[in-house]
Copies of this chain bind each other. A is one copy, B any other.
Amino acid sequence: MFEFEIKKECKYTHARTGVLHTPHGDIQTPVFMPVGTQATVKGVLQRDLKEIGSQIILSNTYHLYLRPGHELIREAGGLHSFMNWDKPILTDSGGFQVFSLEGMRTVDDDGVTFQSHLNGSKHRFTPEFTMEVEEALGADIAMCFDQCTTAGTSYEESVKAMERTHEWARRCKEAHKRQDQALFGIVQGNMYADLRMESAKAISAMDFPGIAIGGLSVGEEKDVMYEMLDVMYPYITREKPHYLMGVGSPDCLVEGVARGIDMFDCVLPTRLGRNSCALTSQGRLTVRNAQYAHDFSPLDPECDCYTCRNFTRAYLRHLIKAEEMLAPMLLSLHNIYHLHRIMSRIREAIDQDCYPEFLREFRQSGWYCC
């Protein structure tokens, strides 16, 4: 029901293409997963998401647990049915969100007690309870409950969080029962090379069907992120899909793939879309700027998405100034498509044995800008 096949490996980098078989269909990797935090990818109809090539989406356990509640989603027949998305879904465990509630949560070895950002009500997540919630949501891929730390956390604190993450991974694995759902383990260890190696070994040893890298893109420089990926690589089971959590800028996608990553997710394309910003083959474009008022060219002349085929920068800028919903709708559609297009170019380059050349050219082009 859940299987990962590696199709092609680059001879000079760790890049590879593969197919991830899931109960809701196959995923061609490397893949970018748009984020549908509250059971909707903001501003994009489900059919349009499919049309632009989304193979799998991510949704957030923390948000769905609070609203509308996992029991309602269970009653609806699971998240696929609730939001009418018949392709694969991945749910995070709520770990990252809960640890982001600075000052509103207390951690102990058994779990985390936190206050809802919606109404201040008190809740508790443990590894066992998040498994119950994720099983109710019924995604194809569930994530272990982990403790994420931000860049700058001390070595001592990072060790503690990492060890907790390993123990919680063990408990999640024990508690997880659904046969039609794959549970991925998460590597932590902050920006400490020895901890990252240790964590990669520990999580790999637990034989999860997939291995995620958590706790990167949490405030550190990108070079540090790449260094951590390099350091961990030898200790992560090669045959398993590798998922770099919360990362999705164009440069990180191509650099991540070169370091053996198969899956990515990020709110970037929709968040930028709501902030009147477009990802293009020339780099970022702030459509709100006055210089585009009379610009009747498309957002990105190299793009063939619905937005670029039909609308001009001048029109999009007008929609932004007039605060019309159509602006984030059209920009989000374009931005997600842009990242999918990068991924399909990456897959093509790997399959054609020219990822190093692709990487070199990409680094020199506007596409690389994040």
User: Which A residues have a C-beta under 8 Å from some C-beta of B?
Assistant: 38-40, 42-48, 63, 67-68, 72, 75-76, 82-84, 293-294, 296, 306, 310-312, 314-315, 317-319, 321-322, 324-326, 328-330
Ranked 6 nearest A-B pairs via Cβ? A68-B318, A40-B326, A38-B322, A43-B325, A84-B310, A40-B324
The reply to whether A321 and B67 contact each other, CB–CB distance below 8 Å, is: yes
- Interface pair B72/A310, CB less than 8 Å apart: no
- Beyond the given A43-B325, A67-B322, please list 13 additional residue pairs across the A-B interface where CB-CB is below 8 A: A38-B318, A38-B322, A38-B324, A40-B322, A45-B330, A47-B310, A67-B321, A75-B296, A76-B315, A84-B310, A84-B315, A325-B328, A329-B329
Q: Nearest chain B CB to A286's CB is how many angstroms away?
A: 17
Report which of B45, B314, B326, B328 forms a contact with A76, defined as CB distance below 8 A. B314
State the number of copies, please.
2
Given known pairs A82-B314, A310-B46, the reply for A293 and B326 (CB within 8 Å) is: no
Q: Kindly provide the distance from the CB of A306 to the nearest chain B CB, expressed in whole angstroms.
A: 7
B-side contacts of A46, CB under 8 Å = 310
Chain B: minimal CB distance from A92 (Å)? 17
Assess whether A326 is in contact with B82, with CB atoms less than 8 Å apart.
no
Is A43 within 8 A of B326, CB to CB?
A: yes
Which B residues touch A325, using CB under 8 A? 40, 42-43, 325, 328-329
- Offer 26 A-B interface pairs, CB within 8 angstroms, sorted by A: A38-B318, A38-B322, A39-B315, A39-B318, A39-B319, A40-B322, A40-B324, A43-B325, A45-B306, A45-B330, A47-B306, A47-B310, A63-B322, A67-B318, A68-B314, A68-B317, A68-B318, A75-B294, A75-B296, A76-B314, A76-B315, A84-B310, A84-B315, A325-B328, A325-B329, A329-B329
